[in-house]
Amino acid sequence: MTIVEACESRTNTTPDFPMGWYTVGRSHELQIGEVTNVTAFDRELALYRTRSGAVVLQDAFCPHLGAHLGVEGRVVGESIRCPFHGWRFGTDGVCEEIPYCEDIPERARIRTWHTEEKHGQIWVWFHPENTGPHWELPDIPQFGAEGWTLPRFAEFDVPAHIQDIAENACDPVHFQYVHKQPDVPPSEVTIEDNGRILHLNSDASNAPIPNQLHATVYSPGHALVHTDYGPGAEMLVYNSAQPIDRHNTKMRWSLIVRKEIEDLAGDDVMQGIIDGLSDDYPIWANKVHKHKPLFCKADKTLVLFRKWVRQFYLTEKDKREIA
């Protein structure tokens, strides 16, 4: 007799957060002296820009009585002051001042996350063991280059785990069923020698607007999609994500196109991509994360994705060693 597995619970099967670079905002949204709160990796964080212009992301809860530094906290020079009793923490997280006490306890410190600003976004490196970056952010020469437009931005909250959203890149079949393409575009997935960077090439010459699509996936939730419609008609969509918790992800997209096709493609294409997301939305909002999917023989690119994605998580052995 074939045993049929019980259905997964919607809430208890999602994995941890994959290591990698994520965004927590756009540079222009955070002015000098501004403090804001961010929820990422199922944690509360405080994000601020110091007087000298440095971006700082720190754990939000003050070690004193637990006030949220990102809500009503105040930038003072190169530090942040807690709104509750005025303790002041430097950009390295160490308490520099308690206004009513000369002795600062040794443990008066908060965690500072590794951040960088690039391509108009504020990036944070995430690793479950709090290590420094294992790889650099990529250079994307088309950003700011002559011949390309300034970026258009969009962002959305998606009720799904970051890995399940990223899996779309290796799922050519869903283009036919979810995105109503006439057929499944011939697609090839390859992985660079370093094992990390994944490429998807899709030949959409049968699409209503024929194109060649090339996606470079640097890590789950961090990808560059290049679509080529012919000479001078190119478009780049740069995707970055902010995992909010295990069931919710904020997606940030920056779109640039060749100036030759800006009038034709700029706003319409962005709108088209946003509309495309509403195709995926009901699937994402109602699916479970399948820890062990049942694949058929033709699901080769999905199988490849699941093997590839493992490198971004700690293994069971890693976890035992930490414990």
Nearer to ligand FES, 103 or 193 (CB): 103
Which among 118-126, 137-145, 161-169, 191-199 is the span making contact with Fe ion, rule CB under 5 A? 161-169
Q: State the minimum distance, in angstroms, from the CB of residue 277 to Fe ion.
A: 8
Ramachandran area for residue 73 (φ above 0: left; ψ -120 to 50: alpha; else beta): beta
**Interaction pattern, residues 53-72, with ligand FES; x per rule: CB under 6 A:** ---------x-xxxx-----
* Residue 216 contacts Fe ion per CB under 5 A: no
Nearer to ligand FES, 48 or 87 (CB): 87
Q: State the minimum distance, in angstroms, from the CB of residue 86 to ligand FES.
A: 6
Give the one entry of Fe ion, ligand FES, none that residue 281 binds, where binding means its C-beta sits below a cut-off of 5 to 8 angstroms depending on kind. Answer: none
How far is it, in rounded angstroms, from Cα 28 to Cα 300? 41
181 half-sphere exposure, CB direction, 13 A CA radius:
20
Q: What is the identity of the amino acid at 3?
A: I
Report the residue from 43, 68, 74, 85 that binds ligand FES according to the rule CB under 6 A: 85
How far is it, in rounded angstroms, from Cα 154 to Cα 254? 7
Nearer to Fe ion, 203 or 280 (CB): 280
How far is it, in rounded angstroms, from Cα 132 to Cα 56? 15
CA–CA–CA angle 128, 133, 137 (5° rounding): 125
Nearer to ligand FES, 80 or 200 (CB): 80
**Interaction pattern, residues 274-293, with Fe ion; x per rule: CB under 5 A:** ------x-------------
CA–CA–CA angle 87, 89, 90 (5° rounding): 150
Q: What are the structure tokens assigned to 284, written together? A: 């994402």
Q: State the minimum distance, in angstroms, from the CB of residue 84 to ligand FES.
A: 4
Give the one entry of ligand FES, Fe ion, none that residue 168 binds, where binding means its C-beta sits below a cut-off of 5 to 8 angstroms depending on kind. Answer: Fe ion
Give the one entry of ligand FES, Fe ion, none that residue 280 binds, where binding means its C-beta sits below a cut-off of 5 to 8 angstroms depending on kind. Answer: Fe ion
Q: What is the DSSP string of 75-140?
A: EETTEEE-TTT--EEETTSBEEEBTTBSPPPTT-B--EE-EEEETTEEEEEE-TT-PPPSSPPPP-
Q: State the minimum distance, in angstroms, from the CB of residue 308 to Fe ion.
A: 18
CA–CA–CA angle 43, 47, 52 (5° rounding): 155
How far is it, in rounded angstroms, from Cα 312 to Cα 280? 24
Interface residue list for ligand FES (CB under 6 A): 62, 64-67, 82, 84-85, 87
